[in-house]
């Protein structure tokens, strides 16, 4: 019979104090506390579409104006949000561990850059970023925090189901400064594989970590869902911080239920 994960914070903190290489895996739950829409589960719609209806190469080829409206909306929303106590606790922990000659690396499924804004330096973004673009012609990836990202999207992207599509001509959508090609968000869409270099970096960190934290992720989106269970199989302690149990909870050594903004600052306090 499998033992239930511990919720003993003192025991976890003892392990954390001795850890030399900590990996923190984060998902949508850590940003939900900053008021970021997750587009998962009930009510996860933009107008009449679910995210997967728009976040795909097929959708972009069919209607780049509509897809850019959706991402413009998400970018503008993110610019009104701030990192929460969980993001800040992770960033502070990285800084403290570095001073002690130890490491903390964030591997995130989020595309909102809130970890970066909180001050985290060592971040592996599995699914890309809302604030980078990729040229569909020359492939150049560029950081972009322009608001709006192009003049034609000014005031567009309202999530109201009754809002009319902007139908922006392709020539007026975001264009590459190098070759004038059409830009797309530098995010991993449904139907696309993760960047092999990014996956390799994540794998390298996971293979040498001696403590792993799973924060605000449902552990159902692959390949990230495999990361923590594989670490646990090596005998490395894994602690989950989540609002509720997940399909992977039983394979972890620790489970701390509740908002990450409440549980993490206590767990990572030196």
93-146 pLDDT, tens digit each: 999 999 999 999 999 999 999 999 999 999 999 999 999 999 999 999 999 999
Residue 210's pLDDT is 98
Two tokens at 111?
């595309």
Token reading at 28: 């949508």
Report whether 46 belongs to an annotated binding site.
yes
Looking at the DSSP bridge assignments, the partners of residue 25 are 107, 214
Flag whether 218 is marked binding.
yes
**Range in 4-18, 116-130, 213-227 the model is least confident about:** 213-227
> Is 217 flagged in the annotation as binding?
yes
How many residues are present in the chain?
270
Just list the catalytic residues.
Answer: 127
- Give yes or no for a contact between 90 and 121, defined as CB atoms under 8 angstroms apart: no
Residue 106 annotated in ligand binding: no
* pLDDT band of 185, cuts 50, 70, 90: very high
Record the tokens describing residue 30, joined without a space.
């850590």
Edge-to-edge order in the sheet of strand 183-187: 141-143, 128-135, 183-187
Comparing 43 with 258, the larger pLDDT belongs to: 258
Q: Say if residue 216 carries a ligand binding annotation.
A: yes
Look up the pTM and report it. 0.94
- 148: cis peptide before it, omega within 30°? yes
Confidence band (pLDDT; 50, 70, 90) for 39?
low
Nearest to 169 by CA among 148, 150, 191, 193: 150
Write the CB contacts of 244 (distance below 8 Å, at least 6 apart in sequence): 257
């Amino acid at each position: 019979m499998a033992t239930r994960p511990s919720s003993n914070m003192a025991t976890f903190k003892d392990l954390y104090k001795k850890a030399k290489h900590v990996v923190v895996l984060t998902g949508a739950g850590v940003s939900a506390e900053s008021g970021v829409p997750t587009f998962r589960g009930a009510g996860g719609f933009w107008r009449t579409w679910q995210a997967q209806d728009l976040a795909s190469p097929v959708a972009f080829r069919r209607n780049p104006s509509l897809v850019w409206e959706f991402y413009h909306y998400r970018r503008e929303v993110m610019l009104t949000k701030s990192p929460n106590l969980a993001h800040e606790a992770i960033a502070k922990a990285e800084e403290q561990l570095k001073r002690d000659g130890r490491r903390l690396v964030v591997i995130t499924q989020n595309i909102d850059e809130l970890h970066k804004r909180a001050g985290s330096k060592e971040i592996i973004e599995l699914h890309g970023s809302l604030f980078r673009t990729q040229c569909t012609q020359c492939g150049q990836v560029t950081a972009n925090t322009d608001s709006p990202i192009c003049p034609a999207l000014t005031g567009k992207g309202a999530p109201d189901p009754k809002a009319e599509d902007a139908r922006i001509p392709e020539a007026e959508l975001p264009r590459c400064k190098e070759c004038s090609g059409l830009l797309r968000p530098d995010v991993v869409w449904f139907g696309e594989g993760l960047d092999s270099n990014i996956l390799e970096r994540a794998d390298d960190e996971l293979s040498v970590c001696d403590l792993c934290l799973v924060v605000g992720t449902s552990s159902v989106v692959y390949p990230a869902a495999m990361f923590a269970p594989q670490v646990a199989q090596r005998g490395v302690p894994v602690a989950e911080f989540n609002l509720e149990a997940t399909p992977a909870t039983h394979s972890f050594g620790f489970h701390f239920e509740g908002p990450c903004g409440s549980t993490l600052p206590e767990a990572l306090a030196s």
